């Protein structure tokens, strides 16, 4: 269970490169909607450190275009939203968690409005949109930049809170547990505790110690495990990897949601080509011009996201192609430019592609992880003092597939519950943190072999894309695991011999998360929701109507 290996035993810790130790009441890792909303509320009860490995606005939340699903109209009801969520989760969503999210969601949305989030209104009321899987209009949005607006409002609230200190360009490296204590005699050895984290200051190139009796992981997703993803470059699964190394339970990692149409070779994150483009009449074709969606679903291009993604993936593997084509050339160029000005202008100016005259090369891309660090309905993990909220967590809400726009709602609701639980016993905030050994990197090297990091990262992403993507098999999973075990052994050896950098930390976490996805997928001998395997094509409720938990 025990976290990273200290470079030397604590009693040799006299290196002049040891950095400072920070003491806070709360430590929040991540600056998406879960971390920032938690920090704003926690600031009323104590000092809060918020660490983020890039700029404070860089998060999956900021890239979310859709909105927040919530019951905000008289024609909607909690029961309808619950039913839609459970149906999409294909039998694995936890009904108690779903009901909590749905019932508390409207009030949490009002919290955002109260701090200044400006959503889109129509005729004096919230303009509610509708997305796949929802039985009525309930998507609260800020045009098509909802995540950006939520981040703006939350960051403004953070800036106005005097008890919050933001640490940008700080990379959480390892959670501090019993393994890192100078002495374990003063702690309960029957349980694992978290007292903070070692954090790399990327600019100073020093590892600092952040101590706090309450730690919230809000690090977002792990899309960068895959070659193609809509997630920003920071989404490397850091929270899941750190929690697993610390002894936290991880669950349902096999359920990775893929968006069907992103622009091929558009970088990281992949540029999304909205599903509305298909709704407008665009046709999917193979590279030689053949239509194919009619072979998978009578609704063709208008089939649900998982079906379209499966169809594209199947055609790519069958033909050995790298992408398929999304064709708008039969549509009016003026109408395309009018309805999709952002997509048109971005493709034209950034990628030199005129979507009215040329077909768009598209591929599915990893979009969202339905699994993560297992928590209860109050955000608690099985590690004392450690909470998790947002995409890094597994609350049980999403089950085998996420209902559109439930992600931001889940982050709001369960980060709020985590805050209320963590302050319920106020004495925990003044609890004495045991003496922690400082990080010691003496005896390690400054390696110039960073090409190894880039190569290994790319290799992991290609292995995951080729063998652990939308469709898996026992053969593919076994091959992927064997190769990843070799890579991870090499990475761990490199990690122990060299001074840590952001790239090395991310590579180590990507490799571990990739293996966790594979191990969960190998346990599920059926096809359900987002997990499709050629060896077990049917859903098997008799044996697999349960979560996949890795202790």
267-271, 464-468, 517-521: the lowest-pLDDT one: 267-271
Residues 383 and 459 in one domain: no
Contact in structure between 92 and 545 (CB atoms under 8 Å): yes
Pairing of strands 324-327, 360-369: antiparallel
> CA-to-CA distance for 92 and 222, rounded, in angstroms?
21
Residues 357 and 381 in one domain: no
> CA-to-CA distance for 178 and 176, rounded, in angstroms?
7
- The pTM for the full model equals 0.88
Task: Give residue for tokens 């309808």.
Answer: 80
Residue 180 lies in a domain: yes
> CA-to-CA distance for 383 and 89, rounded, in angstroms?
27
pLDDT at 19 over 70: no
What DSSP designation does 434 have?
Answer: P
Task: Let me know if 221 is exposed, middle or buried by CB neighbors in 10 A (0-12, 13-18, 19+).
Answer: buried
pLDDT, tens only, 81-127: 999 999 989 999 999 999 999 999 999 999 999 999 999 888 899 98
The enclosing H or E element of 139 equals strand 139-140
Q: Which two tokens stand for residue 534?
A: 């050629």
Residue 440 lies in a domain: no
Structure confidence at residue 264 (pLDDT): 93
Pairing of strands 214-217, 386-388: parallel
What value, to the nearest 5°, has the Cα angle with vertex 287 and ends 283 and 292?
Answer: 45
Share above pLDDT 90 across residues of the chain, in percent, rounded to a whole number: 67
Structure confidence at residue 14 (pLDDT): 34
Q: Report the first-to-last Cα separation within the chain, whole angstroms.
A: 10
Last residue of a domain, one of 364, 383, 408: 364
pLDDT at 66 over 70: no
pLDDT at 494 over 50: yes
DSSP per position, 55-70: -TT-SHHHH--S-EE-
The residue among 36, 410, 384 whose CA lies nearest residue 214 is 384
- Report the half-sphere exposure of 298 (CA within 13 A, side-chain side): 0
Residues 236 and 270 in one domain: no
Mean pLDDT value across residues 470-487: 96
Residue 237 lies in a domain: yes
276-283: long-range pairs with CB below 8 Å, 24+? 276/339, 276/340, 277/326, 277/328, 277/340, 277/343, 278/302, 278/308, 278/326, 280/328, 280/331, 280/336, 280/339, 280/340, 281/328, 281/330, 281/331, 282/326, 282/327, 282/328, 282/331, 283/326, 283/327, 283/330
Mean pLDDT value across residues 514-537: 96
Residues 67 and 181 in one domain: yes
Structure confidence at residue 440 (pLDDT): 78
Mean pLDDT value across residues 391-415: 95
CB count, 10 Å around CB of 537?
Answer: 9
Last residue of a domain, one of 317, 342, 364: 364
Residues 226 and 268 in one domain: no
Structure confidence at residue 12 (pLDDT): 30
CB count, 10 Å around CB of 72?
Answer: 19
Give the model's confidence band at 428: pLDDT under 50 very low, under 70 low, under 90 confident, else very high.
low
Q: Which two tokens stand for residue 414?
A: 């369960």
Share above pLDDT 70 across residues of the chain, in percent, rounded to a whole number: 90
Structure confidence at residue 374 (pLDDT): 98
Structure confidence at residue 426 (pLDDT): 56
Residues 544 and 422 in one domain: no
Higher-pLDDT residue of 424 and 459 is 459
Mention every residue, 6+ apart, whose C-beta is less than 8 A from residue 497. 444, 445, 447
Structure confidence at residue 424 (pLDDT): 85
Domain harbouring 168, CATH code: 3.50.50.60
The enclosing H or E element of 284 equals strand 283-285
Q: Which residue in the list 99, 278, 305, 476 is annotated as catalytic?
A: 305
Residues 85 and 194 in one domain: yes
Residue 443 lies in a domain: no
Structure confidence at residue 63 (pLDDT): 55
pLDDT at 27 over 70: yes
Contact in structure between 32 and 467 (CB atoms under 8 Å): no
Q: What are phi and psi of 147, to 5 degrees?
A: -60, -40
Higher-pLDDT residue of 443 and 10 is 443
Helix axes 238-246, 502-523, angle to 10 degrees: 70
pLDDT at 448 over 80: no
Mention every residue, 6+ apart, whose C-beta is less than 8 A from residue 438. 10, 13, 18, 19, 21, 209
Mean pLDDT value across residues 453-464: 94
Residues 58 and 130 in one domain: yes
Structure confidence at residue 129 (pLDDT): 80
Residues 230 and 346 in one domain: no
Residue 486 lies in a domain: yes
Please confirm whether the linkage preceding 339 is cis (ω < 30° from 0): no
pLDDT, tens only, 243-256: 999 999 999 999 99
Domain harbouring 457, CATH code: 1.20.58.100
What DSSP designation does 200 have?
Answer: E
Residues 401 and 543 in one domain: no
Mean pLDDT value across residues 348-374: 96
Structure confidence at residue 62 (pLDDT): 54
Residue 437 lies in a domain: no
Residues 131 and 217 in one domain: yes
The residue among 384, 494, 381 whose CA lies nearest residue 447 is 494
Mean pLDDT, the chain, rounded, equals 89
- Assess whether 457 carries a catalytic annotation: no
Structure confidence at residue 5 (pLDDT): 37
Residues 505 and 546 in one domain: yes
196-200, 377-381, 431-435, 518-522: the lowest-pLDDT one: 431-435
Query: Residue 250, SS3?
Result: strand
Q: Which two tokens stand for residue 15?
A: 């290196």
Give the CA distances from residue 28 to residues 33, 215, 217, in Å, rounded to whole numbers and listed in that order. 12, 6, 6
Structure confidence at residue 8 (pLDDT): 35
pLDDT at 16 over 70: no
Give the CA distances from residue 523 to residues 28, 117, 283, 516, 519, in Å, rounded to whole numbers and listed in that order. 33, 42, 37, 11, 7
Contact in structure between 465 and 211 (CB atoms under 8 Å): no
Last residue of a domain, one of 379, 397, 430: 430
> CA-to-CA distance for 2 and 217, rounded, in angstroms?
18
Residue 341 lies in a domain: yes
Structure confidence at residue 187 (pLDDT): 64
Higher-pLDDT residue of 396 and 341 is 396
Give the model's confidence band at 6: pLDDT under 50 very low, under 70 low, under 90 confident, else very high.
very low
Residue 7 lies in a domain: no
Instruction: Find the domain containing 493 and state its range.
Output: 451-550
Domain harbouring 264, CATH code: 3.90.700.10
Mean pLDDT value across residues 253-263: 94
How many domains, the chain?
A: 3
Give the model's confidence band at 307: pLDDT under 50 very low, under 70 low, under 90 confident, else very high.
confident
pLDDT, tens only, 126-162: 988 877 778 888 989 886 678 888 999 999 999 999 9
């Amino acid at each position: 269970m025990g976290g990273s290996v200290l470079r030397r035993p604590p009693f040799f810790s006299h290196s002049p490169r040891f950095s400072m130790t920070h003491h806070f009441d709360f430590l929040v890792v991540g600056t998406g909607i879960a971390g920032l909303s938690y920090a704003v509320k926690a600031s009323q009860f104590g000092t809060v450190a918020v660490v983020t490995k890039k700029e404070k606005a860089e998060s999956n939340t900021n890239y979310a275009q859709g909105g927040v699903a919530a019951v905000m109209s008289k024609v909607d009801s909690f029961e309808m939203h619950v039913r839609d969520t459970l149906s999409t989760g294909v039998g694995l969503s936890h009904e108690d968690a779903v009901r909590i999210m749905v019932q508390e969601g409207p009030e949490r949305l009002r919290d955002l409005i109260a701090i200044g989030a400006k959503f889109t209104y129509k005729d004096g009321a919230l303009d509610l949109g509708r997305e796949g899987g929802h039985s009525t209009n309930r998507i609260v949005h800020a045009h098509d930049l909802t995540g950006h607006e939520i981040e703006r409002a939350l960051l403004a609230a953070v800036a106005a809170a005097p008890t919050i200190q933001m640490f940008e360009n700080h990379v959480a490296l390892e959670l501090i547990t019993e393994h890192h204590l100078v002495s374990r005699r003063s702690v309960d050895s029957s349980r694992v505790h978290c007292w903070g984290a070692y954090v790399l200051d990327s600019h100073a190139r020093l590892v600092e110690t952040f101590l706090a009796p309450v730690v919230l992981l809000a690090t977002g997703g792990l899309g960068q495990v895959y070659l193609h993803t809509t997630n920003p470059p920071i989404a490397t699964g850091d929270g899941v990897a750190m929690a697993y190394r610390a002894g936290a339970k991880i669950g349902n990692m096999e359920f990775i949601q893929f968006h069907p149409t992103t622009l091929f070779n558009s970088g990281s994150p992949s540029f999304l080509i909205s599903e509305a483009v298909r709704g407008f009449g665009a046709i999917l074709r193979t590279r030689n011009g053949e239509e194919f969606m009619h072979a998978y679903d009578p609704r063709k291009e208008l089939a649900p996201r998982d079906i379209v993604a499966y169809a594209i993936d199947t055609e790519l593997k069958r033909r050995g192609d790298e992408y398929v084509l999304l064709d708008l050339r039969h549509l009016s160029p003026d109408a395309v430019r009018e309805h999709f000005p952002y997509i048109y202008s971005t493709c034209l100016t950034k990628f030199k592609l005129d979507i009215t005259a040329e077909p768009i090369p598209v591929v599915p891309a990893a979009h969202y992880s339905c699994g993560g660090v297992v928590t209860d309905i109050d955000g608690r993990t099985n590690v004392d003092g450690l909470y998790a909220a947002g995409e890094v967590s597994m609350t049980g809400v999403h089950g085998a597939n996420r209902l559109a726009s439930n992600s931001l709602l889940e982050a709001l609701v369960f980060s709020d519950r985590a805050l209320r639980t963590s302050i319920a016993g106020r004495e925990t905030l003044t609890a004495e943190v045991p003496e922690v050994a400082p990080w010691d990197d003496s005896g390690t090297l400054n390696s110039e072999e960073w090409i190894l990091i880039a190569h290994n990262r790319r290799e992991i992403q290609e292995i995951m894309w080729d063998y652990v993507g939308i469709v898996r098999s026992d053969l593919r999973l076994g091959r992927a695991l064997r190769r990843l075990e070799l890579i991870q052994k090499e990475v761990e050896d490199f990690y122990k011999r060299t001074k840590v950098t952001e790239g090395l930390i991310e590579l180590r976490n990507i490799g571990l998360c990739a293996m966790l996805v594979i191990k969960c997928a190998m346990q599920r001998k059926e096809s359900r929701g987002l997990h499709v395997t050629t060896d077990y094509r049917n859903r098997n409720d008799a044996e697999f109507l349960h979560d996949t938990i890795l202790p």
